Every structure is written in structure tokens, then in C-alpha cells.
């Protein structure tokens, strides 16, 4: 005695007014496969933030070798790999007033660390600005940990900071 089991599929009959030979819309994926079937772009994962530069030792004051001009200075350092022709520290105060340091070259045949100085208005004494670092044609926001600031790639915050 043998029992034979087979899977079957029961299909409901089509309504009487259904059109014969229904077709399904064709979908295509563009070259490179960058979009899903619905036409929505496939999200590209953002690489993790990477330390691009470091600023430290920022002091502000009057009455030193720069006479009675209020100024702030500190040190900027890049990673030991790479080189940049235009490295600049950019500060933005709470009223959106922006001050920029001198531009230096770092890396390559140059040192990887140099001093920077910028000259904010004396009314900003005691106020802590938001810092950004420009490396050639890109600007990176600075995140602080104690007295050390790290300019990070792939993080929001530098939008609207112009390169001059």
C-alpha cells in the first residue's frame, strides 16, 4: 500500500469581465544598479568620522608681542599622512560673526604642526566660539574633548561655512 501526496495549487477563476492576457509593468534597474525597483535611490552608507586635524593650546589676550590688539592663538596639527596647501582655523561666535586665522601649509615638505592666530573683536573676550578647520577645499567641524579639538570628516555642522 502506498500513499501518494502531491502539493496542489487552487486558483480562483477570473471574474467574467477580466481582460485576457494581463501584463505586468516592466521595471528596470539603471546601469550600475543604483536604484531599487521602485525608483528610490539606494542609500549609500556614510563612512565613519575620521580625525582630519587637531587644534590645541588656544589662548586669547592682549598686551603681549602683538601689543594692545585682542587676539587668540594656538596650535594646529594634521595627521602624519597627507599634505595641505591651505590650512586655516575658522571661528564662529554666537552672533554668527566669523573670524579666520592665517593660512598655513602643513604636511609634505612642511611641518605637520604650526601655530595659528586670529583676531576677533575684543567684545568676544571670554566667549567660546564654534571652531572649524579648513583643509584646502573642505571645512570640518571641531569636536572638543578637554583642551584638544578634533576636526572630524563625515560629520554635519560645517554647512554654510565659506572657503575664502
| The predicted structure's pLDDT at residue 47 | 83
CA distance 146 to 155: 20
Q: How far apart are the C-alpha atoms of 116 and 73, rounded to whole Å?
A: 5
The answer, as to whether pTM is greater than 0.75, is no
User: Reduced to 3 DSSP states, what percent helix, strand and coil does the chain have, rounded to the nearest 5?
Assistant: 0, 40, 60
Instruction: Return the residue matching grid coordinates 578637554.
Output: 146
- Residue 44 confidence (pLDDT): 78
Tell me the range of 20-34, 39-53, 61-75, 111-125 where mean pLDDT is highest: 111-125
Q: How many residues does the chain have?
A: 164
Detail the DSSP E strand segments found in the chain.
Answer: 51-61, 71-78, 83-92, 98-100, 104-107, 113-118, 130-135, 138-145, 148-152
If we measure between CA atoms, which residue out of 86, 80, 82 comes closest to residue 101? 86
Alpha-carbon dihedral of residues 76, 141, 88, 148, nearest 10 degrees? -20
Does the structure show a pLDDT above 60 at 108?
A: yes
- Report the C-alpha gap between 22 and 29 in whole angstroms: 23
Residue 43: pLDDT over 50:
yes
Report percent pLDDT > 90 for the chain: 53
Q: What was the pLDDT predicted at 157?
A: 83
Contact 37, 88 (CB under 8 A): no
The pLDDT score that the predictor gives to residue 26 is 53
What average pLDDT does the chain have? 81
- Over pLDDT 70: what percentage of the chain? 74
Question: Is the pLDDT higher at 101 or at 20?
Answer: 101
Q: Is 126 left (phi over 0), alpha (psi -120 to 50) or beta?
A: left
| Structural domains of the chain, ranges and CATH numbers in brackets | 51-152 (2.60.40)
Amino acid at each position: 500500500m502506498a500513499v501518494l501526496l502531491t502539493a496542489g495549487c487552487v486558483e480562483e477563476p477570473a471574474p467574467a469581465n477580466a481582460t485576457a492576457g494581463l501584463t505586468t509593468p516592466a521595471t528596470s534597474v539603471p546601469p550600475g544598479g543604483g536604484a531599487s525597483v521602485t525608483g528610490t535611490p539606494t542609500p549609500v552608507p556614510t563612512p565613519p568620522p575620521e580625525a582630519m586635524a587637531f587644534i590645541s593650546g588656544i589662548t586669547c589676550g592682549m598686551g603681549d608681542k602683538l601689543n594692545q590688539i585682542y587676539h587668540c592663538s594656538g596650535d594646529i596639527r594634521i595627521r602624519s599622512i597627507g599634505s595641505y596647501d591651505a590650512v586655516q582655523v575658522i571661528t564662529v561666535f554666537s552672533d554668527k560673526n566669523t573670524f579666520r586665522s592665517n593660512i598655513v601649509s602643513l604636511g609634505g615638505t612642511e611641518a605637520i604642526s604650526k601655530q595659528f592666530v586670529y583676531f576677533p573683536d575684543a567684545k568676544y573676550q571670554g566667549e567660546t566660539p564654534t571652531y572649524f578647520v579648513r583643509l584646502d577645499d573642505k571645512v570640518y567641524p571641531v569636536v572638543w574633548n578637554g583642551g584638544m579639538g578634533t576636526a572630524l570628516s563625515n560629520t554635519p555642522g560645517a554647512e554654510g561655512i565659506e572657503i575664502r
